[in-house]
Copies of this chain bind each other. A is one copy, B any other.
């Protein structure tokens, strides 16, 4: 049985409010974890402003390069919500009001409340499939390998549940986390580098965090073959034990 092919993805966060610092992005981290659990590798993320040319350029760069692109933000009812237009421009297709989207929105809004602003949310690039929005109805959409989701995290998360159904998924990454505790990276770094070099089937990372005036470190081994991950993990643990034994770097 051969392992399924890796599947790659990128996230494109669209919104002036992220770049001004007004809103702190929570979507990249959420999508990263979510995709990891279903065997899709997030390979890149970008944040761009509400400027059509910027969105088009970033989207075209990412969609050519990765299996999937997930965008967040800019699909609401106000003038600064320009994502659908930018996506249509990127794909070189027309954009117009989608009767399916209008029908869905009429489940929530009385016809008289379907203001021109709200009708903006029914504008879809030609050839889009709708993505369900169980929170506030106005749908996201998929066109080609691009999934266009809302920016508000709870809405984005609900849309993502629907969006991933259309994605091919790959082998889930196996992850082993080893607590190095307060042992400094500078003490185990050389030995860890040698282990990394000797185990090319896995990637090994060392991640410090700084709390209460001291560093605490974790070593993470990642790979698609469980045996390779387990073997590298055992080597790392043995290495840490040896250093703990005499306190000297290896």
Contacts and interface: CB of A to CB of B under 8 A. Distances in A.
Interface in A152-177: 152-155, 173, 175
B28 A192 contact: no
A60 interface: no
Interface string A226-250: 0000000000000000000000010
Q: Is the interface of A mostly helix, strand, loop or mixed?
A: mixed
B28 A78 contact: no
A43 interface: yes
Interface string A3-23: 000000000010011111111
B78 A192 contact: yes
Interface residues of A, number: 75
A128 interface: no
Given A206-B76, A210-B152, A19 B47 contact: no
- Determine which residue in A26, A33, A120, A185 has the highest number of CB atoms from chain B within 10 A of its CB, and name it: A185
A91 interface: no
A29 to B, nearest CB: 4
A111 B79 CA distance: 61
Interface stretch (A95-103, A140-148, A197-205): A197-205
A65 to B, nearest CB: 11
Given A19-B45, A50-B205, A205-B16, A115 B32 contact: no
A153 B215 CA distance: 12
Contact of A36 (B20, B26, B78): B20
A206 B205 CA distance: 40
Rank and list the top 4 A-B pairs by shortest CB-CB distance, nearest first. Answer: A117-B189, A21-B33, A21-B32, A79-B193
Interface of A: 13, 16-26, 28-36, 41-50, 54, 76-80, 109, 113, 115-118, 120-121, 135-136, 152-155, 173, 175, 185-190, 192-193, 196-197, 203-210, 215, 220, 222, 249
Given A19-B41, A136-B210, 7 more contacts: A20-B222, A21-B30, A25-B25, A50-B205, A118-B189, A120-B189, A152-B210
